[in-house]
Amino acid sequence: MAEITLDLRSADREIAYKELAEHIELVLAGVNDPVAEMATISALVHHAFGHLWTGFYRVIEKGRLLRVGPYQGTLGCLEITFGRGVCGTAAAEGRTVVVEDVDHFPGHIACDSRSRSEIVVPVWDRQGELTAVFDADSDRIGAFDQRDASGLEGILARFAGSSRQ
């Protein structure tokens, strides 16, 4: 069971996240290695929903700089400063940002011109420090909403030492 990659594109979104969160917890049971966890979460979320780009930007300089981490998809930009683009905004403000149409988000960084909508979720560690942001991009407008925000926040809560399934 643990070795499969789920395809949840046709599932009800809330049920999909519940299933995905359980699957991720099963695959990563006992693993406490951020690189392995980020790589595994990127792969499973990416293929579950068929996103364009799915992965992490890590905080390299507190309050200043993000650098790309494990991801799936086409080449992502290497570094993003806090406050720039969707990732930089989520990092600077410490909140999940859902962008329905990237053309209407001032300063959006287009690493892939096919990107139409995205969601960025902050990742907190056990000390309550921002350690990364998780970014998922879609080639469809309005691909993400509050269900994705809650589902992803639940999955990413493992980095803070809690699981919210």
Q: How far is the CB of 68 from ligand SME (least distance, A)?
A: 8
Our CB check for ligand SME shows the closer of 6 and 77 to be 77
Query: Which of 76, 122, 151, 154 contacts ligand SME by CB under 6 A?
Result: 76
Neighbours of 163 (CB within 10 A): 13
Query: Which of 38, 87, 121, 156 contacts ligand SME by CB under 6 A?
Result: 87
Task: Show the binding pattern over residues 104-143: x = contacts ligand SME (CB under 6 A), - = does not.
Answer: ----xx-x---x--x----------------x-x------
Contact residues: ligand SME, CB under 6 A:
53, 76-77, 80, 85-87, 108-109, 111, 115, 118, 135, 137
